Chain A
Amino acid sequence: MSIDSLLERAQGLTSDAERVTEAKLRTVALPGGRTLGLITLDNGEDHTKPNTFGFGSLLALNTAIDAALADDSIDAIGITGKPFILAAGADLTSIQSGGPDAVRTIAELGHAVFRKLGEPGGKPSFGFINGLALGGGLEVALHCTYRTVMDSAPALGLPEVMLGLVPGWGGAYLVPHLVGADKAVTLLVENPLNQGKTLKGQQAFEFGLADAVFGGADFLEQSLLWAAAVLAGEIAVHRADVDRGAAWDAAVARGESIVAAKTGGASPAAKRAVELIAAARDADRDAGFAAEDDALEAMSKTPELLASLYSFDLVQKRAKRPAGAPDRSLARPVTKVGIVGAGLMASQLAVLFVRRLKVPVVLTDLDQARADKGVAYVHAELDKLLAKGRATQDKTNRLKALVTGSIDQSEAFAGADFVIEAVFEEMSVKKDVFKAAEKVVSPECVLATNTSSLSITEMAADLEHPERVVGFHFFNPVAVMPLLEIVKGERTDDVTLATAFATGKGLGKTTILCKDSPSFIVNRLLGRFMGEVAKIADEGTPVPVVDSAFAGIAPMPPYVLLSLVGPAIALHNNETLYRAFPDRFYVSESLKRVVEARKGSFYGPDGEIDPEVEALLVKPETPAVKTAAEVRAQTLSALADEARRMLDEGVVAAPEDLDLAMITGAGFSFWNGGLTMLLDTSGISEKVTGKRFH
């Protein structure tokens, strides 16, 4: 479309709901006599509501750029943002509500407006990246002839792929031509798939995204003086040559292998971003930008975009306000933590509690040597953080002094507000532990259990105060995995639950409320998943075929995951669930044998099935060999059945909680929306359960 028709269409699409980012043009007399038309992007809000580009914002920017181009007294154009923010990219909400041609229109309009900054024959332009610059916020600067960046800018990047989109306002074309295809792969594909990693200002400069870097104390002043010197020819800007030969092919190949490894080709956006980089090599500006328009439009029609936005909303919003959690004001402060046990799990918990809550943490065990060993583990972990420079000596001293070990519970738990047990996974043992603890703690002290499978209600049944018992189920490794399932027993009261949620938040975890039920959320779904997979393998489908069936859904193939979790733990989970639901869950004979043989992994170091394991596997007389597609369909059907049952049983409040749990606790894919969105879009939920989840 011509720019005039685009502008007209954009007028029509601009909604009152858009928080318009104004583009304020002001002439600045530079030392040396030249005049800069400086455009400040400012949506009139503070830094917690960053500038974005919707239709209205692009129209405003267009007007400002046109005015600067038309003003003969202006020699060059600069663009910067309100304090701390350049812009955070497109205003997705206003685009989503814009109707069928909204994406195509905004893609073309963004190009048409931004490119005026960098069009040959136009005026030289400067992007002054004064803070956050993501997506379109970075692209607007990329169109400029030159760029400066603030060294302390918190985040620069093109995270579109994470959201199921591609950088569609010039990023996919301009970045490889600016810094080379390999770095473009890093910025457009690798970083977004690595939990949306971004660059800090100094890193972005070293990466080649900017021509100069200045400190925050006088960033804009120094940028303007630098611009004046560039315009006066006193500073020549040198950039590294871009290799448009073999290196470009190698980069594209690297991008393809990252996409294969991370998404199994299941995220169309990641794949498309690599294709855009590949095509950019021989494309001119018009062709490159047109390819981005096409890609953006195509991505907007994929279910993965919807699912990614859904996932984004889950981790950004739902994770912060857990469904069903009682009012926060009910929570009691936690000023001291007791841990029953001093083994590896207990010690990991101690590290997490002391680092995040910075309160006294007491590890208790039956003999002092074991308690001391637990403390030594915590101290060693804290020393590792010190050695890595992630903590200062003083802070390390503080935290170390907070962790003690004891065999005397009455002394150890005096004054504790929160006691968590991490002892052997056996109901009678845990009941005894709580009974003993209850004698020494105050009546208000929360008793939390890290059980992964036992009933909270039963564990609390014989206590004087069963209402203070709550499940606090972490995932391994505790320091890394974001999910914490908070399990409400039948008698757990709201104060206990509120304290548990507040503590979970203090620990930096994503908390989800779960009913007291076998294996709670993630382990139940994974148990059904692994059981179905194992049954298929036991019935004759080779393990490598089974393992190839889940690319793009789970973070790793099931038998790799099983090896990571530990075959014995996986077996225990399956047995627990089998006892609860013998008709649906499955205990694999092969897995039992592998556990009995004390094998830690199905795979050998060469990546092939370990021959000793292979010899242990069940070999049916009439093997039923399935294709990867059949394996996938059968397993997802089982998951659809289980997810529906869990919702019907009230294990969680809504399918959103299942998905948030699977994304944060099992690494299920963002672009599938975790689990239930995938089951809906693939038609499996309707086929298996007769209805959709959403």
Chain B
Amino acid sequence: MPRQLREVVFVDGVRTPFGKAKGQYAETRADDLVIKCIRELMRRNPSLPPERVDEVAIAATTQIGDQGLTIGRTAALLAGLPQSVPGFAIDRMCAGAMTAVTTTAAGIAFGAYDVVIAGGVEHMGRHPMGEGVDPNPRIISEKIVDPEALSMGNTAENLHDRYPTITKQRADAYAVRSQAKTVAAYDAGKLQPHLVPVATRSADAGWGLATTDEPVRAGTTMESLAGLKTPFRSHGRVTAGNAAGINDGATAALLADEETARELGLPIRMRLVSYAFSGVEPEVMGAGPIPATEKALAKAGLTIDDIDAFEINEAFAVQVLSLLEHYGIADDDARVNPYGGAIAMGHPLASSGVRLMTQLATAFEERPEARYGLTSMCVGIGMGGTVIWENPNWTGNNTEETS
């Protein structure tokens, strides 16, 4: 059978406002968070007949309770998609939603799907990282994984060790900028279009409405960060101030075969160029984006100089800074995380990948001079993932090569 590789495009992405664990979503179900994202995608794209959705892939790290029951399938049904639309659950810890995107994107390229929904949810207030895990004793007896690797904070401290030039001061300065950029992005109304409001139940206070990220700390300064504890090591560098918190939230994106998108009149916000995942020593999990990015660039035949826009997950400031240092990019390069990142907005593990993509799509719209962008994140148990995208709005010299 002759087979033609197809272009995969990012049509749309939405997310719930993120919450602090035990905060605005304390009495809201995890599945309801992602259901609202799916509903919003369908509402925003009325030209997409619901039965044309070929797959619903939803990631969650802890797939039990209200994040269990094959959440992609149940969320699709609860969101009112037709029964004919299938779904599945997916897990690659922090890169869950990113993997939901790449896996279904591969299916689109192969011709198995025309349109998919990919997203993720993590309600860390209800499902803290490590809930119900049962690590294999061989991990310790055979020293397969450094036990420190199971604490993400420790791996961040280890990453500081690997990059001695990345000091706590640099990490804190990065965090201050992240907070400030997010506040500025909200003030400029750049993030609100990504959000689907969520009615929040509270038995005590009555119903409310979440319309903004709860973790953002406006007015964060070097001074306010300086005194924070370093819970993973005495005299360490990683604090609650230069890392993402414990958060609740969900995301979802609509991806399509490019021709199908055109046929259905769906917007083409980004075009997938390449992606790669790569493993590293689990105890320096935060280094994962470096080999993943190398691999993705190589597959695309690009170099880091071709990348004009970056959305890097800020699980820890040191993890972003190590990637930037590796490529010789300045800590405060304007192309990197222009709207701030997880340090300010929050990082509900398996949901964050799609947030990066949604924000990169916005950056592409604002910056038609940027041709390529990447979304990258570190992943627990020593991995990294990088997805490279092309800007369909690009107005550079080689116009004949695009479109």
Q: Do A and B bind each other?
A: yes
The interface of chain A, by Cβ under 8 A from chain B, is 24-26, 28-31, 38-40, 42, 44, 80, 82-83, 215, 217-218, 220-221, 224-225
> In B197-227, which residues have CB < 8 Å from any A CB?
197-199, 201-209, 211
Do B205 and A26 touch across chains, with their CB atoms under 8 A apart? yes
Taking the complex as formed, is B36 at the interface, i.e. its CB lies under 8 A from any CB of chain A? yes
A221 with B197, Cβ < 8 A, contacts A42-B203, A215-B80 known: yes
**Cβ contacts under 8 Å, B36 to chain A:** 217-218, 221
Interface centre among A42, A218, A225 (most CB of B within 10 A): A218
Do B209 and A217 touch across chains, with their CB atoms under 8 A apart? no
Taking the complex as formed, is B79 at the interface, i.e. its CB lies under 8 A from any CB of chain A? yes
A26 and B36 alpha carbons, distance in the complex (Å): 22
Taking the complex as formed, is B39 at the interface, i.e. its CB lies under 8 A from any CB of chain A? yes
A24 with B205, Cβ < 8 A, contacts A215-B80, A217-B78, A221-B36 known: yes
**Cβ contacts under 8 Å, A26 to chain B:** 202, 205-208
Q: How far is the CB of B236 from chain A (nearest CB, A)?
A: 39
Taking the complex as formed, is B35 at the interface, i.e. its CB lies under 8 A from any CB of chain A? yes
Taking the complex as formed, is B357 at the interface, i.e. its CB lies under 8 A from any CB of chain A? no
Closest residue of A by beta carbon distance from B209? A28
Please report the total number of B residues contacting A with Cβ < 8 Å: 21
Do A44 and B203 touch across chains, with their CB atoms under 8 A apart? yes
Do B207 and A220 touch across chains, with their CB atoms under 8 A apart? yes
Which residue of A30, A217, A220 is within 8 Å of B79 (Cβ)? A217
A221 and B40 alpha carbons, distance in the complex (Å): 11
Which residue of B39, B199, B203, B211 is within 8 Å of A29 (Cβ)? B211
Taking the complex as formed, is B196 at the interface, i.e. its CB lies under 8 A from any CB of chain A? yes
**Cβ contacts under 8 Å, B202 to chain A:** 26
Q: How many A-B residue pairs have CB under 8 A?
A: 56
Do A224 and B197 touch across chains, with their CB atoms under 8 A apart? yes
Q: How far is the CB of A65 from chain B (nearest CB, A)?
A: 13
Which residue of A30, A42, A215 is within 8 Å of B206 (Cβ)? A42
A678 and B198 alpha carbons, distance in the complex (Å): 54
Write the B73-100 contact mask toward A (1 if CB under 8 angstroms, else 0): 0000011100000000000000000000
Which residue of B35, B79, B201, B211 is within 8 Å of A31 (Cβ)? B211
A352 and B202 alpha carbons, distance in the complex (Å): 45
> In B24-74, which residues have CB < 8 Å from any A CB?
32, 35-36, 39
Q: How far is the CB of B200 from chain A (nearest CB, A)?
A: 9
Closest residue of B by beta carbon distance from A80? B207
**Cβ contacts under 8 Å, B39 to chain A:** 215, 217-218
Known: A24-B205, A29-B209. 16 other contacts (CB 8 A): A24-B204, A26-B202, A26-B206, A31-B211, A83-B201, A215-B39, A217-B32, A217-B35, A217-B79, A217-B80, A218-B36, A221-B196, A221-B198, A221-B199, A224-B199, A224-B209
* 5 pairs of A and B residues whose beta carbons are closest in the complex: A40-B206, A24-B206, A220-B199, A26-B206, A28-B209
Which residue of B78, B79, B196, B208 is within 8 Å of A28 (Cβ)? B208
**Cβ contacts under 8 Å, B205 to chain A:** 24, 26
A253 and B77 alpha carbons, distance in the complex (Å): 47
Q: How far is the CB of A493 from chain B (nearest CB, A)?
A: 46
Closest residue of A by beta carbon distance from B35? A217
**Cβ contacts under 8 Å, A24 to chain B:** 204-206
**Cβ contacts under 8 Å, A218 to chain B:** 35-36, 39, 199
A225 and B40 alpha carbons, distance in the complex (Å): 13
A80 and B199 alpha carbons, distance in the complex (Å): 12
A83 and B27 alpha carbons, distance in the complex (Å): 12
Closest residue of B by beta carbon distance from A215? B80
Q: How far is the CB of A609 from chain B (nearest CB, A)?
A: 57
**Cβ contacts under 8 Å, B207 to chain A:** 26, 28, 38, 40, 80, 220
Q: How far is the CB of B299 from chain A (nearest CB, A)?
A: 39
Closest residue of A by beta carbon distance from B79? A217
**Cβ contacts under 8 Å, B201 to chain A:** 83
